[in-house]
Amino acid sequence: MSVECKVPGANPIAKSPYRLAPLEMQELSNQLQELLDKDFIRPSYSPWGAPVLFVKKKDGSFRMCIDYRELNKLTIKNRYPLPRIDDLFDQLQGAQYFSKIDLRSGYHQLRVQDEDILETTMLSTDYTKKLSFNRYINDGDLVIVYEKHDNMKAVKVCEKSVLENRFGVFKHSDWIGKPYGCKVSSHKGGFVYLLSPTPELWTLVLSHRTQILYIADISFVIMYMELIPGCVVLESGTGSGSLTTSLARAIAPMGQVYTFDFHEQRAVAAREDFEKTGLSSLVTVGVRDIQGEGFPEDLIGLADAVFLDLPQPWLAIPSAGEMLKQDGVLCSFSPCIEQVQRSSETLTSKFTDIRTFEVLLRTYEVREAKMDQCQGEESTPGSQRPCKRKHHAGEANHWQQDNSGSPIVMARPSSEAKGHTGYLTFARLKCVASSSSRVASFVA
Ligand SMILES: C[S@@+](CC[C@H](N)C(=O)[O-])C[C@H]1O[C@@H](n2cnc3c(N)ncnc32)[C@H](O)[C@@H]1O
């Protein structure tokens, strides 16, 4: 048996979640956790989201209800002749296997047609659940196969496929149902880890079609652009979508990222990547010359934040200002200080609180060495005195007793300096205190 929700051509219904009392929030959290643990539900980024509410039962407990009334209005009703109950019993003759449905969460146990799953999403105010990732690997999921910290790749799980690498042959069917983070073995005993495709890991495995932003810059950008769930963010250029993936997670589940690149193939490839990573409902990718034409007019006054990673960002700044809501934040990434200077000059007329940060990367070499080797290292030009960390008193004693040949862990700054990743310039749109219109708040 499966449920069919036919809504031909209908646009997703977007309804805000209902306000829940603290007790109801707690109950929602508990019930969602129980359903997640049983694998009856999973987190979703579907744009269809019906709000949740609670009805108090006679015994004082809460019944969780999902308000599908709007979806029901669009659904074409199924019409079946009701089977006769005695016919049904007759058909059970000789049956050996029986299953039962616990009607307390019966709805979640009915199979829904694949193409209708998106419409059955429930929208709760429990954002932590919407943002968490699946705990168990399903057929069709994207997993990050981890061999070493510098050797990972994204693989789509397909029950009939295998992964072959230097450690042997791994059957995908062995992965299904296992928790993310698990260690799986090949036919010859080699192993890899299967990790969840978080934006942090995706940035390390995505295919580079352009230079990309890495975590040091990305985390700074998300923090200083003050992104929270529900925000609307504009971005250009999309490039390889490294930043976009993290922007999408920051504004999920109800926000939206509009990202633009003038390079059509890059935009198409980015769209495909967002499909793969399950973020397509949160990201709209457009093909547009943002330096030449600016952002589209239908986004005027809608953006909480605008991010620019363009060769001549100062050309896009006036349009970015028009897109921002009152008080909105702009951030521009530039690899060189000349770009920062030109952008800052353009920013001064309409923005305030202009700040530029240089993001520096300093890597450390970490290795094990014997104590005597370690002392030798101290005199190496450019190296720093190694520092032994004492975690426990017991460990410290151990060092004192046996400091001749035991290995210790040493770390020192890498001799090859990577230098900076770039400059991040942030600015806040100036606003006119008395203005009621968002667009008018843009100081001319
Ligand atoms: C360095 S990449 C952006 C990388 C991206 N931040 C990431 O993390 O993956 C710069 C992108 O800007 C795009 N671009 C350059 N000039 C543009 C313009 N005038 N309008 C729109 N996109 C532009 C390029 O095609 C390129 O894909």
- Domain borders along the chain are 22-94+105-123, 136-197, 202-361+423-429
Ligand 1 atom nearest the C-alpha of 316 is: 19
CA distance to 88, 118, 305, 359, per residue, from 66 (Å)? 31, 15, 33, 46
The H-or-E segment that residue 71 falls in is helix 69-74
Does the C-beta of 211 come closer than 6 Å to ligand 1? yes
Output the pLDDT for position 34.
Answer: 81
Does the C-beta of 311 come closer than 6 Å to ligand 1? yes
Name the burial class of residue 362, with classes exposed (0-12), middle (13-18) and buried (19+) by CB atoms within 10 angstroms of its CB: exposed
What is the b/e burial string over 399-424, where b = at least 16 CB atoms within 10 angstroms of the residue's CB?
eeeeeeeeebebebeeeeeeeebbbb
Beta bridge partners of 423: 334, 358
Output the pLDDT for position 71.
Answer: 82
Does the C-beta of 294 come closer than 6 Å to ligand 1? no
Is beta strand 324-334 parallel, antiparallel or unpaired with respect to 50-56? unpaired
Angle at 83 between CA 77 and CA 87, to 5 degrees: 165
Distance between CA atoms of 356 and 336, rounded to whole angstroms? 12
Q: Which of these, 126, 133, 293, lies nearest to 200 by C-alpha position?
A: 133
Residue 21, number of CB atoms within 10 A of its CB:
9
Does the C-beta of 265 come closer than 6 Å to ligand 1? no
Ligand 1 atom nearest the C-alpha of 333 is: 6
Flag residues of the chain having pLDDT under 50: 1, 126-132, 376-402, 435-444
The residue whose C-alpha atom lies closest to atom 18 belonging to ligand 1 is 289
- Cα–chain center distance at 310: 23
The residue whose C-alpha atom lies closest to atom 22 belonging to ligand 1 is 261
- Calculate how far, in angstroms, residue 108's C-alpha sits from the geometric centre of ligand 1: 43
| 435: amino acid identity, one letter | S
Find the helix packing angle between 215-224 and 242-251, rounded to 10°.
Answer: 40
Output the pLDDT for position 131.
Answer: 42
- CATH number for the domain formed by residue range(s) 202-361+423-429: 3.40.50.150
Task: Out of 222, 235, 263, give the residue to mutate to test ligand 1, the one with the largest number of ligand atoms within 8 Å of its CB.
Answer: 263
Does the C-beta of 210 come closer than 6 Å to ligand 1? yes
Distance between CA atoms of 362 and 418, rounded to whole angstroms? 7
| 333: amino acid identity, one letter | F
Does the C-beta of 290 come closer than 6 Å to ligand 1? yes
Residues counted in the chain? 444
Output the pLDDT for position 341.
Answer: 97
- Calculate how far, in angstroms, residue 28's C-alpha sits from the geometric centre of ligand 1: 42
Does the C-beta of 260 come closer than 6 Å to ligand 1? yes
Distance between CA atoms of 19 and 120, rounded to whole angstroms? 20
Output the pLDDT for position 392.
Answer: 45
Q: What CATH fold (topology level) applies to the domain 136-197?
A: Vcp-like ATPase; Chain A, domain 2 (3.10.330)
Task: Out of 236, 314, 332, 339, give the residue to mutate to test ligand 1, the one with the largest number of ligand atoms within 8 Å of its CB.
Answer: 236
Output the pLDDT for position 88.
Answer: 84
Output the pLDDT for position 405.
Answer: 65
The residue whose C-alpha atom lies closest to atom 13 belonging to ligand 1 is 237
Does the C-beta of 206 come closer than 6 Å to ligand 1? no
